[in-house]
Chain A
């Protein structure tokens, strides 16, 4: 098992004909993921061809789902159209919608989140996230499910769940694990925006319930209080060892550190408060980002 997606999950790509979407659709196909459809309004009936595969393109997500049975989507459409794309995926009844797009206005996401309230079928991951990977069993984890922009080859099939707001910091953690011969069940990037579909806590709960996941790495950063909420739940409920790292201890208050959500404002969202919450919850704290894997492995 794994969480959210399995190696045979059927994926559609919204924005497959844009340069960014096309590049990563190709990489997912190369990784052996089941990319079954693309959606670009006005290009329905055409095909996206790569590596000997012909992926049909549809005008609407609803059509793509009906024709191909896709259950998950990756969204690469530009920011002004991304909110619409997310809600289209939700309307079509997809199980997982992964919004890779960076730079969606907060107001658009507030509306999306409100519109999806009570929708128990569709889970939104992101936006502004690297996506998710459930590694496969082949060489360099080939044959897994890669939705998004993460490098597939750094993964290895195994039992550690990874959840993070940051892309490259996720890769860092994954690579530390893989280099030590330790594989991952699923790696989830939840994104660096202040309003996102899935929180650290949502993913932690899934890992806790997943029999294949034996340990968890949770990577957070300054801004908001999602890490604290996850820590509080872990303290009371989590049956598995969790190690963590919080980025941004040296960030000056009031400045946005790259990610729209990475800001200490009004004395809230500091690294110190998050680290304290981790400690209180018995989460192993990596003193430096170089020690994320080792911190967890020592606990197991």
Chain B
């Protein structure tokens, strides 16, 4: 699960990470009082930041033509006028795709004079199953690009989960970032806080890009999480009721939300051949084989190990809600589950949804002969495939006609 920047910063602040003065606003009525507070704090500028689950906001464009999802205003009035052009509008960035995302929340923030920008992230290193802190002096940049072109500019520190982060490890990182004096000590505290946020919240990733040294009005410099991104481990959400409440359904595809209600794992893609498969690996492989034979998969859909008739019907309805779908490939390896139960479910779903596009079914496994008989005698138009390759070729051909 992903959360918004302002929510990420709320979590970080709980663990002692310094963040700028900022106030989220969900309506225009909330923008002016928020901007007033920021101005009253002594900040000469007021920053208005669109809150969506996608990067590249600053360089994004609203569908209205308004440029920039992050704007720096010189006055409260200007901040309000920016907010009017942003709130409720669709923002398109390099990460959102052409459809963009509707901005439903703005983060009203103090304008900081940025002296230095760093990158700091905590994630799992899968190679050794340990937490890894990654830091770089190249903040505000695309970190993948830095990793590729200047790997020497990325500092890595593994954490032993038995004892957690040790202060000396945070000191090594702060030193690698070139922090000195008070900023060094503040940086150490911040780095420990960022790690603890990752561990205590069961995060998959905590990323500050940038982590910044900013200059306050009185000339004093402080180190803060200027931008923050947190994604959580879905499997651990059961023990974080407060974080569950941060879920924003507006950021998720409606079909994927619908699928999750039936314990179906569905991800919409751009092709026109839908697939319905049991098992994640087989579902990925089915998408691959459709493309291998010249088709394009419309989705990933794993119905799980013990698909019921209700699940199969729900799966068909979800698949058919995608207007691009011109054909369906069902690929079931019924190891334990009875192929005949699946076949009965497919026939019922076809009748209930009045299916009028080509359907290719490949069944294999337990009680497969009875399953195939059920399909053949159902009176509904179903093309059967003998193997994955046969079925994939048949559906690609049927859709191509």
Do A and B come together as binding partners? yes
Interface residues of A (CB under 8 A from B): 27, 79-80, 103-111, 113-115, 149-151, 153-154, 164-172, 175, 192, 194-195, 219, 221-226, 229, 245, 247-252, 255, 257-262, 266-267, 271, 287-291
Closest to A271 in B: B288
On chain A, the residues within 8 Å of B284 by CB distance are 166, 221-222, 247-248, 250-251, 257-258, 262
Question: Can you list 10 A-B pairs, Cβ within 8 angstroms, ordered by A?
Answer: A103-B235, A114-B160, A115-B162, A149-B336, A171-B335, A175-B364, A194-B126, A251-B284, A262-B280, A290-B389
Q: Is the C-beta of B181 less than 8 angstroms from some C-beta in chain A?
A: no
Which of B236, B287, B302, B388 is in CB contact (< 8 Å) with A250? B287
Cα A133 to Cα B143 in complex, Å, equals 43
On chain B, the residues within 8 Å of A167 by CB distance are 279, 281, 305, 335
Q: Tell whether A288 pairs with B389 under 8 Å between CB atoms, given A107-B236, A111-B161, A169-B281.
A: yes
Judge whether A150 and B335 touch: CB under 8 Å: yes
On chain B, the residues within 8 Å of A165 by CB distance are 281
The interface stretch among B17-25, B127-135, B317-325 is B127-135
Judge whether A258 and B283 touch: CB under 8 Å: yes
Cα A247 to Cα B285 in complex, Å, equals 5
The interface stretch among B58-66, B71-79, B289-297 is B289-297
On chain B, the residues within 8 Å of A172 by CB distance are 282, 285, 333, 364, 388
Cα A27 to Cα B366 in complex, Å, equals 13
Give the interface size bracket for B toward A: 35 or more
**Most chain B CB neighbours (cut-off 10 Å) among A79, A115, A172, A224:** A172
Cα A28 to Cα B282 in complex, Å, equals 24
Which of A149, A261, A289 is in CB contact (< 8 Å) with B388? A289
CB distance from A35 to the nearest CB of B (A): 17
**Most chain B CB neighbours (cut-off 10 Å) among A171, A219, A291:** A171
On chain A, the residues within 8 Å of B265 by CB distance are 258
Judge whether A250 and B279 touch: CB under 8 Å: no
Judge whether A248 and B236 touch: CB under 8 Å: no
Closest to B281 in A: A166
CB distance from B208 to the nearest CB of A (A): 16
On chain B, the residues within 8 Å of A229 by CB distance are 127
CB distance from B380 to the nearest CB of A (A): 25
Closest to A224 in B: B126
On chain B, the residues within 8 Å of A222 by CB distance are 284
On chain B, the residues within 8 Å of A257 by CB distance are 267, 280, 283-284, 300
Cα A27 to Cα B283 in complex, Å, equals 25
Judge whether B387 and A290 touch: CB under 8 Å: yes
CB distance from A90 to the nearest CB of B (A): 15
| Nearest 5 Cβ contacts at the A-B interface | A166-B281, A258-B280, A168-B279, A151-B335, A105-B236
